[in-house]
Amino acid sequence: MGTKSVDDLQRQLQETEALATSAIEGASTTAELAAVKQDFLGKGSALTKIQSQLGGLDPSDRKAAGQAVNASRSGIEAIFGRRLTTVADEERGVQLAAERIDLTEVSTVNDQPSGHAHIVTQAWEELEDVFVGMGFRVAEGPEAETDWHNFDALNIPPDHPARDGFDTIYVQHGEPRSTLLRTHTSPVQIRAMLAQEPPIYIIAPGRVFRQDTADATHMPVFHQLEGLVIDRNISLADLAGTIEAFTESYFGAGFSSRLRPNHFPFTEPSAEFDIQRPDGSWLELGGCGMVHPNVLRAGGVDPEEWSAFAFGFGIDRLALLKFGIDDLRELFTNDMRFLQQF
Ligand code: PHE
């Protein structure tokens, strides 16, 4: 630079500021702004060059010149900072608009302000209410269960043919075939007996698993509700009465129940229970019976002193029945047009 006068320097600074200002205002993205910053405030910038010339000035002018350069730098930085805030806000706005998920989609269709529980959850909760109203407590057990709780303790020893009927899904944990996804809620009977002294009045709703192909009446993952009553002098009549009372209470008038002889290793005698719809047709709902003495013993309960009944049925099937749905798979495809009807 030829001239070393302060006036010249001021002129150069003004030019630089003007250029910087228009470049900053012209930048419309944060990336462009970063480049502009490099050009006007970075190492190779005009401002940095001007600064390096201060040494060539008259010593008496150096201080004022230095202050002028600093003032220019601060001015440019301030303009830059304001512009950056604006541009970054705009970019964020655009991004948020692009990423926005329309959560109102479902509720506006139906003009409802919010969703509701799934049919199975509704049935589950209603059943808990019905049974709690009858004096039962709600118990729980793990979904990954030991082979012992799921089978042996329920009077199904290792080579028992009943094991085949359960299409068990085993879990790789511990000894081979020692851990499984429970095939029914009945292992909660054992856990309840081991955890407390009789009398016991519990229900245990929960998820169960079987190696099944999905069809209108089967799913590989489904829900059962187990019931267990242990007290003195419990009879088959108590079992039948309990099932009838629950049927009426859950389904309302017009529905009734019946027991048909059946076989389960963990109950003796055993029965299947069906529910009759108001149109007269029957639906097989679950199994029940007087708890086998071997099962009571496995749970540490003396069969000479206590007697017990148990029942277990599919919650999902019950929901189908209540809502008049004819295909179990409908419950789990999660088609909103279907689900929001219930
Ligand atoms: N656990 C049986 C099943 O899943 C149902 C059942 C429960 C039968 C309790 C009798 C007593 O098929």
Q: Give the pLDDT confidence score for residue 106 in this predicted structure.
A: 60
Ligand 1 center to 105 CA (angstroms)? 42
* Cα torsion 221, 244, 119, 309: sign: negative
Q: How far is the CA of 311 from the centre of ligand 1 (A)?
A: 6
Does pLDDT of 2 surpass 60?
Answer: no
Q: How far is the CA of 68 from the centre of ligand 1 (A)?
A: 91
| CA 180 vs CA 150, 162, 191: distances in Å | 8, 16, 16
Q: Give the pLDDT confidence score for residue 4 in this predicted structure.
A: 57
Best-predicted range by mean pLDDT among 47-56, 127-136, 160-169, 245-254? 127-136
Residue 186 has pLDDT above 90, yes or no: yes
Ligand 1 surroundings by CB, under 6 angstroms: 184, 186, 264, 267, 286-289, 310-312
The strand pairing partners of 310, in sequence order, are 228, 289
The torsion angles phi and psi of 309, rounded to 5 degrees, stand at -125, 160
pLDDT above 50: residue 190? yes
Q: How far apart are CA 315 and CA 128, in angstroms?
A: 11
185 closest CA partner among 157, 220, 145, 158: 145
Ligand 1 atom 10: the closest Cα is on which residue?
Answer: 288
CA of 287 to the centre of ligand 1 (A): 5
- Report the share of the chain in percent with pLDDT over 70: 96
**Residue 143 has which token pair?**
């979904």
- Tens-place pLDDT, residues 319-338: 988 888 989 999 998 888 88
* Phi and psi at residue 271, to the nearest 5°: -150, 160
- pLDDT for res 105: 59
pLDDT in tens, 198-213: 999 999 999 999 998 9
